[in-house]
Structure 1
Amino acid sequence: MSSSRRSVLRALLPFALLTAGAAYAIASWNWCGRWEERTPLVLSQVRGEGSLRAGAAKVALTPPFPVVVAGYAPPRPEASQAAMPLHARAVVLEAGSARVGVVSLELLFVTPEIVAQVRERAARVGVREVLVLATHTHSSFGGYDTRWVAQLSGTGRYMPSAVGAAVAGASEALEKAVASLADVTLEVGGAADAGLVSSRSGGLAPDGQLTRVVLKGATAPVAEVLMFAAHATLIPRKEALVDPDYPGRLSALREAAGSGVSLFVQGSQGNASVAFSEGQGAERAAGFASRLSALADGATPAAVAGPVRLAFARVQASLPRPDSSRLVPAFTRAAGDNFLCASSPRETEVDALALGPLELLSIPGEPTAGAGRALEALTGATHVLGLANGYVGYLDTSEVVLTGQGESRRQYFGPALMERLGAAARVAAGTVGFSAPE
């Protein structure tokens, strides 16, 4: 290296160091500020009791091809077609003066933007309370989340057309479900196979419980809701096709067998992985769907005597300040917090739905088996559902977060997240009238 070039580099070095120091100082400044804790607020509620009516429908989702395949960090493939169709499925329930819609979308998760637009359109057809859930399919389309963290870690570049595709499918399914409302009887059953799932990060192991809810019309089932907990990650991440993974295949199997519209709903799946290794890719997803369908067949449902209770409540919870301490090195903690703060809402929503003997608590994220068990004990819920009406990431118990173990290593918030969501869950459960926790 020539002496003149060395002189230039020596002259530039202090400037480079000052620039790097200034950038570090700016990134480390407390841009988050203080996040105020507020009392959980009941946003809306509805209660009814009487003869049960239900309608159901499924509608194909139409991704805005070409579109990123969501579910993983970069690099991500871009898809121009689907391996098999993606769907929105909806059921509308009515008892007494209460009417509630439930939508299952074959997506990675849903956002408040999607939920708000679906509710706005649903209100036009007389459905003012709607629960929107995702199957957590890691091979569906992305592009529907404006948050930087989500775009970087899973959903890819934001595209308004992707939001429109999700909203259009959900809204049409709800509209068709309303048009098909008819008298039904409610049947509930369950079966378990712990060998179908495993814990990917320790902690309380998932139990492999499948709950089957049947809404039976005069001559045939109108709809079926299947609740199970396991990540939908059986399709290889490099596949340049959108695919509904095992939840879509399970629903299609059940519908072909005459179960009516079959909605798949995730439970506390934060640490639950599929323990099924027969085949690869689509073959493996189809095989696991067949195993779950056989388990559902064994979950012989029992009829629930009328009149049937139907109640729903939405409760707003304030979120704690984001905490990146388990996600980034200590010297970048402040910058990590700032990055999360820029992508985090200050409020979220926890919902409670009672349908006959079912008391369902829904969380806008991915509760682990341990977190789900803790929420059930806190509220008296019979089931805790994840991926509902928004997404705040993983939820593990406060004790696990404090040790930095389990799924807390992926959690955007500290131990206060469980406390805040738990407080809102208790309000939601009390508003709906869940059975007192033991």
Structure 2
Amino acid sequence: MSPRWRRLLASLLPLTLLTLGSAYALASWNWCGRWSEQAPVLLGQARAEGPLRAGAAKVPLAPPFPVVVAGYSPPRPDASQADPMPQARAVVLASGEMKVGLVSLELLLVPEELVAAVRERAADLGLQGVVVVATHAHSSFGGYDPRLVSQLAGTGRFRKAALEAAVAGASEALHQAAARLTEVTLEVGEAREPGLVRTRSGGEEPDGALTRAVLRGGQGPVAELLVFTAHPTLVPRNQASVDPDWPGRVSLLREEKGGVTLVLQGMVGNVSVSFDEGEGLEKVRAYARTVAGLAERAEPAAVEVARLGFARAQVALPRPDASRLVPSYSRAAGDNFLCASSSRTAEVGALAVGPLELLMLPGEPTVGAGSLLVRRTGATGVLGLADGYVGYVETPERVEAGEGEARRQYFGPALLDRLGTGAELAAQAAGFTR
């Protein structure tokens, strides 16, 4: 190297170090500020007694091709087709003047912006509550979440057209379901097959339980709710087409018998599929057939429906905590990055239909975390990925120890307790019988 170049590099070194130091200091500044702890606030509640009515519908989500395939970190493939097409499936439950809508989208997650837009478009239906959930398919389309952390970690670059496709499908499904209300009876059954699931990170083991609730009208089943928990990650990652994974195929198989089937994820945080039949998409189809068969084994029995209850509560989230996600020297910058993409509040819901008492959480609770919430509220089950997304929810002990799904949790150990306090308030307001 010539003396001239050595002199130039020597003159640039202080400026480079100063620039890097300034950038590090700027990124490490406490941009998050203080996140105050507040008591949960009840956002709405409704209860009714008497005969139950229900309507259901499914509508294709019609992504704006070409679209990014969501579910994993970059690089992500683009897709120009879907097989099968992701769907929006909705059920509207009514008793007396009270009506509640539940809409399931075959997507990775549902951000707050999507939930708010769906509720706004459903305002003309006179619903006392609208719950929006995701099946958590890691191979459906992305681009609908404007939060930077979500774009980088899972859903890809934000496109307004992708968000509109999800909102339009959900809204249309809710409107069609509300227009089809008819008197129904409720049948509930359960079956379990522990060998179909496994824990991927330790902690409490999943039991492979499937809860089946059938809303049966005079002409046959109107809708079927299947609560079964396992990450939908069977579709190969490099697949260049949009795919709803095993939940979408289970719905299609069950719908051959009539009605609309919603597959709902429960305590999915640490639960993965355990299945060795077939390869690629054939493995997806085989697992779907097996879960559909498990649903058939969950022979439902008629139950007395004397009530319908719904409530939702807002909780203050703890300050984001990147200590388990990034090296220690970049923790402050990591905290700032999470804060920029995090709301300071989240929503927790509770739905009571006859003997079913379901909590609804905006994230991925582990089996251990969900079990703690069940014990606190007396719920019969927990639905994850509902009405927003705050990431993983692990037990405080495992977060403090840095174990289990703590390495994916965006918040500190207080997250579960904050959500639990709101869940208790919502459960009480919805009329849980504990």
> What TM-score, normalized by structure 2, do the two folds share?
0.99
Instruction: Judge conservation of contact 1:47–1:97 (CA < 8 Å) in 2.
Output: no
Aligned to 1:117: 117
Supply the distance in 1 between the matched residues of 2:94 and 2:253 (Cα, whole angstroms): 27
Supply the distance in 2 between the matched residues of 1:374 and 1:257 (Cα, whole angstroms): 36
Instruction: Judge conservation of contact 1:316–1:348 (CA < 8 Å) in 2.
Output: yes
Percent sequence identity is 63
Residue 419 of structure 1, CA deviation:
1.3
Aligned to 1:353: 351
1:329 correspondence with 2:351: no
For 1:344, which of 319, 342, 345 is the aligned residue? 342
Aligned to 1:71: 71
Instruction: Judge conservation of contact 1:394–1:412 (CA < 8 Å) in 2.
Output: yes
Residue 127 of structure 1, CA deviation:
2.1
Residue 157 of structure 1, CA deviation:
0.7
AA partner of residue 293 (structure 2): A
Instruction: Judge conservation of contact 1:122–1:128 (CA < 8 Å) in 2.
Output: no
Aligned to 1:242: 242
Aligned to 1:267: 266
Supply the distance in 2 between the matched residues of 1:114 and 1:23 (Cα, whole angstroms): 34
Show structure 1 runs of 4+ deviating over 6 A: none
Supply the distance in 1 between the matched residues of 2:82 and 2:279 (Cα, whole angstroms): 18
Secondary structure of the residue that 2:268 maps to in structure 1? coil
Instruction: Judge conservation of contact 2:47–2:431 (CA < 8 Å) in 1.
Output: no
1:166 correspondence with 2:166: yes
Deviation per residue, 1:290-345 (Å, 9 max, x gap):
10111111101111124x21010010011110000000000100000000001100
Residue 3 of structure 1, CA deviation:
1.1
Residue 148 of structure 1, CA deviation:
0.7
Secondary structure of the residue that 2:424 maps to in structure 1? helix
1:232 correspondence with 2:238: no
Supply the distance in 1 between the matched residues of 2:98 and 2:358 (Cα, whole angstroms): 16
Supply the distance in 2 between the matched residues of 1:305 and 1:270 (Cα, whole angstroms): 33
Supply the distance in 2 between the matched residues of 1:120 and 1:338 (Cα, whole angstroms): 31
Instruction: Judge conservation of contact 1:135–1:247 (CA < 8 Å) in 2.
Output: yes
Deviation per residue, 1:235-293 (Å, 9 max, x gap):
011111000100000000000133x1001100001000000121122211110111011
Supply the distance in 2 between the matched residues of 1:44 and 1:22 (Cα, whole angstroms): 47
Q: Which runs of 5+ in 2 are unaligned?
A: none
Residue 408 of structure 1, CA deviation:
0.8
Aligned to 1:291: 290
AA partner of residue 192 (structure 2): A
Supply the distance in 1 between the matched residues of 2:87 and 2:145 (Cα, whole angstroms): 19
For 2:429, which of 427, 431, 438 is the aligned residue? 431
Supply the distance in 2 between the matched residues of 1:64 and 1:128 (Cα, whole angstroms): 31
Supply the distance in 2 between the matched residues of 1:218 and 1:157 (Cα, whole angstroms): 46
Aligned pair in 2 of structure 1 residues 128, 121: CA closer, same or farther (>3 Å)?
farther
Instruction: Judge conservation of contact 1:184–1:218 (CA < 8 Å) in 2.
Output: yes
Secondary structure of the residue that 1:30 maps to in structure 2? coil
Aligned to 2:47: 47
Secondary structure of the residue that 2:432 maps to in structure 1? coil
AA partner of residue 358 (structure 1): L
Aligned to 2:16: 16
Residue 14 of structure 1, CA deviation:
1.1
AA partner of residue 366 (structure 1): E
Supply the distance in 1 between the matched residues of 2:83 and 2:183 (Cα, whole angstroms): 36
Secondary structure of the residue that 1:180 maps to in structure 2? coil
RMSD: 0.8
Residue 189 of structure 1, CA deviation:
0.4
Supply the distance in 1 between the matched residues of 2:283 and 2:42 (Cα, whole angstroms): 43
Aligned to 1:57: 57
Deviation per residue, 1:370-408 (Å, 9 max, x gap):
001000001111001100000000000101100000001
Supply the distance in 2 between the matched residues of 1:359 and 1:169 (Cα, whole angstroms): 27
